[in-house]
Amino acid sequence: MRDRVVVLVNSAAGAFVGQPEAARALADRLVTALERHGLPATARLESGATMADAACAATEAGARALLVAGGDGTLAAVAQALCDAETPHDHPPLAALPLGTANLLARDLSMPEDPEAAIAALAEGVVGRIDVGRVNGRVFLNAVVLGLFANTARQRERLRGAMTPVLWGRLGWRLLTAVRRWPRLRAVLKTESGVLRVKTHAMVVADNAYAERPGLLVRRDSLGRGALAIYVMKHHRPWQWLRLALGLMVSGTWRRDSDMLTADARRLTVFVRRRVIRATVDGEVVLLPPRLRFRLWPAALRVWVPAEAVPVLARFDGAARDLFRSG
């Protein structure tokens, strides 16, 4: 693996449901495309549970870069392994090939969905760094979501595979109908700016702020501003949630919603009056303790991205071609 791009394909990804041979075919396509661009490569098929260990093994073996084909949860698990290594600042750069449901990080980093197009973009791409969020030590590259949205995510997990507009609509309807019966979280938020007490159906803590633009999925214009973005939804009636959804999808002005509380912080502690909290961490449904410590680590993860993603980076280190020539 020394001086090679190591391709790690999550064979358990939703894109491969009912198609076990498709994972191997994708791995072969990626290796062929990389070598066509003069980038020696090798590929491994892994389950979601073994991706992090495989990334560590590839790093120790001298991999020049890691190309991870998987969803946001898979990327976060690999990033955790890289950031927790003995020399976290020297790990090989990570490239993300989208295979999950939302693929938020890959979208923010301008990664094409087509494998050959993605490799072509990476071959002329750049290496840099992005910020990393942590909650109680666990890495997240997108967001931690508490409350009602976490329950919706659990239903989405059961569907697996790519989400169509119809499926997104069904989930949205379930969210609206669940508002009346879903208990609100009572939480205390403590940042460097002070203490705030809130009651909310849903709260999001993101690795950098979301941009205001219309669309079904939120996007970030920067992964290098060095701040957590906190969004507390004070909406408690279905029509208020519908207003928020329209602001998100149609006008892009959802941050100006009168029932939306927003704040930025480098450090955040959240206390919730429950024994455990159901949450999603980069799309993965987890149970967390009632005391949550959020931290933002600036420029902590090396990434390999298309050149179009340079404005998003926390730091630009150079052209990818130079990375491979230097070895």
CATH code of the domain in which 306 resides:
3.40.50.10330
Q: Tell me, what CATH number does 285's domain have?
A: 2.60.200.40
Contact indicator for 127, 325 with CB cutoff of 8 Å: no
Decide: pTM greater than 0.85: yes
Cα 136 from Cα 113, distance rounded (Å): 32
Give the CA distances from residue 237 to residues 51, 150, 201, 257, in Å, rounded to whole numbers and listed in that order.
Answer: 41, 18, 10, 14
What pLDDT is stored for residue 247 in this prediction?
Answer: 62
Q: How far apart are CA 14 and CA 157, in angstroms?
A: 9
Same domain, 149 and 290: yes
As averages over each run of 10 residues, the pLDDT of the chain (327 residues) reads 87 79 94 95 93 94 95 95 79 92 91 96 97 98 86 54 57 61 84 93 93 80 97 72 63 71 95 91 93 97 98 96 73
d(CA 102, CA 109): 13
- Residue 314 and residue 276 in one domain: no
Domain match, 155 and 282 both: yes
Same domain, 223 and 146: yes
Tell whether 174 and 207 lie within a shared domain. yes
**Could you give the dihedral angle defined by the CA atoms of residues 213, 217, 218 and 222, in that order, rounded to the nearest 10 degrees?**
-100
Measuring CA to CA, which residue among 149, 131, 150 is closest to residue 141?
A: 131
Question: Are 70 and 151 members of one domain?
Answer: no
Burial call 273-286: b when 16+ CB within 10 Å, e when fewer = eeeebbbbbbbbbb
86 shares a domain with 215: no
Position 178 scores a pLDDT of 61
Give residue 252's region: left, alpha or beta (phi > 0; psi -120 to 50): left
Position 327 scores a pLDDT of 55
pLDDT value, residue 322: 84
In the chain, where do the E strands start and end?
5-10, 41-46, 65-70, 94-98, 126-135, 138-140, 143-147, 185-191, 194-200, 202-207, 228-233, 260-265, 267-272, 277-281, 284-288, 291-305, 315-319
Residue 135: per-residue pLDDT:
98
Contact in structure between 134 and 80 (CB atoms under 8 Å): no
Q: Containing domain of residue 159, as a range? A: 139-295
Assess whether 116 and 264 both reside in one domain: no
Into how many domains does the chain fold?
2
pLDDT the model gives residue 153: 54
* 25 lies in the same domain as 53: yes
Do 159 and 228 sit in the same domain of this protein? yes
pLDDT at 20: 74
**Residue 258 and residue 143 in one domain:** yes
| Residues 149, 63 share a domain | no
